Structure 1
Amino acid sequence: MSEYQYYEFAALDRPLTPQQQAELRERSSRARITPGGFVNEYHWGDLKGSALDWMKRYFDAHLYSTNWGHCRLMLRVPKTVLDEAALQPYRFNGDETQGFSLFDVGHAWVLDWAFSTDDHSLDRFGMDDGPGWLSELLALREEILRGDRRALYLGWLMRAYLDELDDDALEPPVPPGLRTLSTAQQALLRFVEFDCDWLAVAAQASADLEAVAVDETPLQTRWLDSLSTDELRGVVRLLVQGHLPEAAQVVRQHYNESARAWSAAEGTTPADTPRRTVAQLRTGLDEARAARQAREQQALDAQRQHEAQQRAEYLRREILPRAGAIWGEVETQLSRGSASAYDRALTQVRDLSDAMRLAGQQDEFRQRLAILMRGHGQRRVWVKRLQEAGLM
């Protein structure tokens, strides 16, 4: 099997400088390198560098995919937005092989979702799996910066279903909205081949987003009124200097800290949902799987019924009124004697069989087929096709 590796890196907060692009060019003569990122495919050899080191030095996002069943997504987020206390429930101190990992790179965290499988029947892992994924997944970073913890929780849940956690390990606080994931979060589940039954069990303790949504306008007004002149000047200075991401991060961090402090002091912080162990989550898997399979079977039955109704309508409108002419067309096709002509004739005879059975004309169909076979029964290839189709 030919080897395929896809590497893509993206610089989001700050474009790569000419010096940085030159440094990366020294690592690859074939890669597409722009101020916004690095893209390369390898059919032999490998990346001349460490993806984690590149995330520390240059990039805010990284995607990796191979044709032997390994994929990885990395996102870099500043510590000013996501502090260690917020990440502690998602951390894992074991052998970080797959699932979800966290790396401290000094000024930022690198969040790492990875999946690996030996199942070569998964069509996804082919020779072109990489392109397009990162554009679907990039919105995860902005969601995390806004305080959405669903992607982090999904990362922890990956470790649970991949048997990377002990049974007594406690889940992180369950974020709201697990039943209504964003487009990027749904893409993450597809990217890492996520077990949807685990998600269904976890989502049972997740509140709806609408239920926890509040009008933050009064709180935002209160926060703006609380800012000192020096704090406002600091944010404006970052904006004037062109550091828009840094300014946004400072504002988010300061606002979130103030909001949490006020909520705690006034007793308005919502109560946490009791946290479950991995073993407790696993006990609900059989029921979740059975419910999913029942839904899928119901949907399949409905689809089959719809298709049957469409075919019956087609047979009544298009085949029955032209039955005599179609028998003549079958004669013409068989006279040609080619494989494609036999295929076309078989399709027509099958339509005639279904249409005449629908109209209660099975005896007439058998009579017409017998007449047809008097002239073409010696065609062994044609007879074999009818037998295999169950028409003889």
Structure 2
Amino acid sequence: MSEYQYYEFLAIDRPLDDAEQATIRSLSTRATISATSFVNEYDWGDFKGDPRDLMERYYDAHLYVANWGSHRVMFRLPGGSLELDVVEDYCVGVGVSAWETGEFIVLDFTSEDDDEDFDYDSESLLSAIVGVRAELAAGDLRPLYLAWLAAYGAWERDEDAFDREADDDLEPPVPPGLGTLTAAQRALADFLRLDDDLLAVASEASPPLDADNPDDLAAWVIDLPAAEKDTLLARVMLGEGVRVRMELLHRYRGDTAPADPRPARRTVANLLDATAGRRTVGERRVARRHAEAGERAHSVAHE
């Protein structure tokens, strides 16, 4: 099988200027580069740049795939929109990592499976996933939990992925709404190879997600200081509308989040064992339906 690698970067909050694009061009002569994106495919050789460095300096999202089973997606968010100590609860090995750089926080999610067939369109992947960046910045922690769950889910495919002591690792806080993922979150889960049965088991401890109430939003905005609202409006007029929206939603949800008691945290072993049990029940149900269908077909054939 020939080698194949795909690299894509997106600049979302601020386009790259001519000098920055020239710097990126020096790393790859064959890439398609614009003020907002970098795309290149490699059938031989390798990219000379460091994705981590490019994310810290220029880009807000990055996706990488290789036909030997490597999947990686990274997001850079304004530091005030997501606290590192919150993210660290969801970090696990090489599967989920995060760090601060200047005024930003960078998230790095990876998945490995060298047994998977490579049969998808790389160019459509990041556009389907990138919406989780805005969701995270607005205070939605479901993407972080999905990445954490997918990292431990790899243990079902690779028995050497973790040491036995990881059985007792506790899950991080379970965000609401795991049973009703957004389209971007579903795409992220698929990209990270999150098993549907494992997600279903994890979702049992996730309460429903309450939609933002327009009246409550309006009342919260009214109570903001007038000078602050003037500053925010000016930022919107200067082109920061998306960032302002993310910041305000993050603050609003933090201020209005209900103080519900958190469910007991499950261990990794609890989650994986319950998943195996759910899968067995499902397989038996399917086998029983097939057997019943065969019996009906046999009965009809002998009438």
TM-score by length of 2: 0.85
**Structure 1 counterpart of 2:76, one-letter code:** R
1:202 is matched with 202
State the partner residue of 2:113.
117
**Given the alignment of the two structures, is residue 276 of structure 1 paired with residue 273 of structure 2, yes or no?**
no
Does residue 248 (structure 1) correspond to residue 256 (structure 2)? The answer is no
For residues 213-272 of structure 1, what are the alpha-carbon distances to aligned partners after superposition, in whole Å with 9 as ceiling and x for unaligned? 266344323322221122112102212222223322332343334335xxxxxxx52221
Identity of aligned residues (%): 39
* Alpha carbons of structure 1 residues 304 and 19: separation in structure 2 relative to 1, 3 Å: farther
Alpha-carbon offset, residue 62 of structure 1: 0.7
Aligned partners of 2:294 and 2:54: how far apart in 1?
Answer: 51
Aligned to 2:136: 144
Cα distance, 1:5 vs structure 2: 0.6
Contact 1:66 1:129 in 2 (8 A): no
Q: Supply the distance in 2 between the matched residues of 1:186 and 1:214 (Cα, whole angstroms).
A: 18
Change (3 A) 1:15 1:158: same
Unaligned runs of 5+ in 1: 261-267, 309-356, 361-392
Indicate conservation of the 8 Å contact 1:144/1:151, yes or no: yes
Q: CA deviation at 1:90?
A: 1.0
Residue pair 1:219, 1:259 contacting (<8 A) in 2 also = no
**Offset at 1:38?**
0.3
1:16 maps to which residue? 16
Distance 1:224 1:304, change over 3 A: farther
Aligned residues of 2:4 and 2:66 also touching (Cα < 8 A): yes
Rounded Cα–Cα distance in structure 1 between residues aligned with 2:177 and 2:292: 29
Query: CA offset at residue 282 of structure 1?
Result: 2.7
Change in Cα spacing, 1:178 to 1:158, as seen in structure 2 (3 Å) is same
| Distance across 1 between alignment mates of 2:137 and 2:172 | 18
Question: Higher relative contact order by CA 8 Å / sep ≥ 6: 1 or 2?
Answer: 2
Number of equivalent positions: 293
Gaps of 5+ in 2: 156-161
Structure 1: how far apart are the matches of 2:64 and 2:3?
Answer: 14
Compared CA separation, residues 85 and 48, structure 1 to 2 (3 A) = same
- Range that drifts further, 250-259 or 75-84: 250-259
* Inter-CA distance 116–202: structure 2 relative to 1 (3 Å threshold): same
Matches within 5 A, 1:1-392: 1-92=1-92, 96-97=93-94, 99-119=95-115, 122-123=116-117, 125=118, 129-163=121-155, 164=162, 166-209=166-209, 213=210, 216-260=213-257, 268-294=258-284, 296-297=286-287
Tell me, in whole angstroms, the C-alpha distance in 1 between the residues paired with 2:293 and 2:245.
Answer: 48
Q: Which moved more, 1:61-70 or 1:81-90?
A: 81-90
- Paired residue for 1:334? none
Label 1:259 to 1:207 Cα distance change in 2 as closer, same or farther (>3 A).
Answer: closer
CA contact (8 A) 1:235 1:251 kept: no
Q: Is the 8 A contact 2:130 2:184 kept in 1?
A: yes
The AA in structure 2 aligned to 1:68 is: W
Rate the CA distance shift 1:151–1:300 in 2: closer, same or farther, 3 A.
farther
Distance in 1 between residues matched to 2:96 and 2:185, nearest whole Å: 14
Q: Give distance in 2, aligned partners of 1:253 and 1:180.
A: 20
Q: Provide the rounded CA distance (Å) in 2 between the counterparts of 1:299 and 1:24.
A: 57
Q: CA deviation at 1:358?
A: 6.9
Shift of 1:191: 1.6
Preserved contact between residue 81 and residue 252 of structure 1 (Cα < 8 Å): no
Cα distance change on mapping 1:102 and 1:294 into 2, 3 Å: farther
Report the CA distance between 1:135 and its aligned residue: 1.4
Mark the CA change 1:214 to 1:136 in structure 2 (over 3 Å): closer, same or farther.
closer
Task: State the 1:303 CA deviation.
Answer: 9.5
- TM-score relative to the length of structure 1: 0.67
Offset of 1:300 from its aligned partner? 6.5
**CA–CA separation in structure 2 for the residues paired with 1:158 and 1:287:** 18
Q: How much has 1:70 moved relative to structure 2?
A: 0.9
Bigger helix fraction: 1
2:159 maps to which residue? none
Deviations 1:124-179 (A, max 9, x none): x25x6522111111122222223222211111112322344722221112122222
Name the CA shift for 1:304/1:239 in 2 (closer, same or farther; >3 Å).
Answer: farther
